[in-house]
Amino acid sequence: MIETIKNEIRKVIVGQDELINGMLMALLSDGHIFVEGMPGLAKTTAINSLAKALGFSFKRVQFTPDLLPSDITGSEILDLKNNDFKIKHGPLFTNLLLADEINRAGAKVQSALLEAMAEKQVTIGDDTFKLPYPFMVLATANPVEQEGTYELPEASLDRFMFKIKVSYNTIEEEFEIVQRVAKKGFETINKVLGFDDFIAIKQKIKDVHIDDELSRYILQIIFATRNPELYGLPELKQYIDFGASPRASIDLYKASKAYAFLEGKDFVTPYDISKVAFLVLRHRIILNYQAIANDMTADDIIQKIIEKLPKP
């Protein structure tokens, strides 16, 4: 089933395997994704293709400085005919939402979105409405243009399960893209999975076995981001202001099981954990100016921790 979904998405997406896998893992784990990448790298096309392949609803919101919370949540509208207020739902009421350039909107709009992500519900006036199930947000940010942006606070970023960095395609992949557009265009995405099938896959992921030793290994990785000196990495202490939160422990556990399932296994290995650790942790490790001065990134910190910790 998973390969069938991927093949449908690949009808219009060339390369970008990490983004495709990340979307599937997050959706099947009830998580959300923060994507950082240049414009034109098919982020919108990718999530729209996933929605079509699964038969889910999809909406896109372009975040701008003048956007209001009610523009995404919805609002009460006066019905002059009946002299009463009625509720108009906003674009949040969908299965898959693309929050494009989320860092261009103000704090109030970001807060409204993050509340919906955490609570899976929206309050309009005096009424609270449940969002459709499943509900996943894919938020994007342009890493180059910083003028007129409102960067998400670290605590807000922590609500995203993954941070995925989307890079340019290889020359061979971009050649394939040009050929498809110029010669035959892109194929039509077909619905290949029903809602019941989706729920069945989620149950199978829950049944993926993870040994207690591997669960402890996950926690060791998380705790090593907080107190690296206790795990034989005292040189990293000078670069880290704050390590990963308890949400990271939960997300790394769920993501490891989802990745193992995508690889066709019914059990988790240390390799599975190491493959998703970067996606789960890179936006949750807060580095200081010393790290910036020494060109040390969060990915470098994660790599050193994985290399140092003994694998079960």
Over range 150-163, report the average pLDDT: 81
Task: Kindly report which listed range (35-39, 205-209, 241-245, 291-295) carries the lowest average pLDDT score.
Answer: 35-39
Identify which of 137, 119, 165 has the alpha carbon closest to the alpha carbon of residue 283.
165
Over range 273-299, report the average pLDDT: 91
Domain of 248 in residue numbering reads as 207-308
Q: How far apart are CA 249 and CA 245, in angstroms?
A: 7
Compute, in degrees rounded to 10, the torsion defined by CA atoms 193, 280, 100, 263.
Answer: -30
Residue tagged 């990134």 (tokens): 297
Q: Are residues 33 and 157 in the same domain?
A: yes
Q: Are residues 280 and 137 in the same domain?
A: no
Q: Are residues 20 and 118 in the same domain?
A: yes
pLDDT of residue 50: 86
> Does any domain span residue 77?
yes
Query: With pLDDT > 70 as the criterion, what percentage of the chain qualifies?
Result: 95
Q: Which two tokens stand for residue 1?
A: 């089933």
Q: Which two tokens stand for residue 89?
A: 């739902």
For residues 261 and 208, the answer to whether their CB atoms sit within 8 Å is yes
Q: Are residues 119 and 264 in the same domain?
A: no
Final residue belonging to a domain, choices 184, 219, 251: 184
Over range 53-66, report the average pLDDT: 88
Query: With pLDDT > 90 as the criterion, what percentage of the chain qualifies?
Result: 27
Q: How far apart are CA 88 and CA 111, in angstroms?
A: 20
Task: Kindly report which listed range (36-45, 142-151, 236-245) carries the lowest average pLDDT score.
Answer: 142-151
What's the total number of domains in the chain? 2
Q: Are residues 167 and 26 in the same domain?
A: yes
> Does any domain span residue 194?
no
Confidence of residue 20 (pLDDT cuts 50, 70, 90): confident
Q: Are residues 85 and 46 in the same domain?
A: yes
Q: Are residues 238 and 149 in the same domain?
A: no
Confidence of residue 252 (pLDDT cuts 50, 70, 90): very high
Over range 301-308, report the average pLDDT: 92
Q: Are residues 30 and 176 in the same domain?
A: yes
pLDDT of residue 145: 59
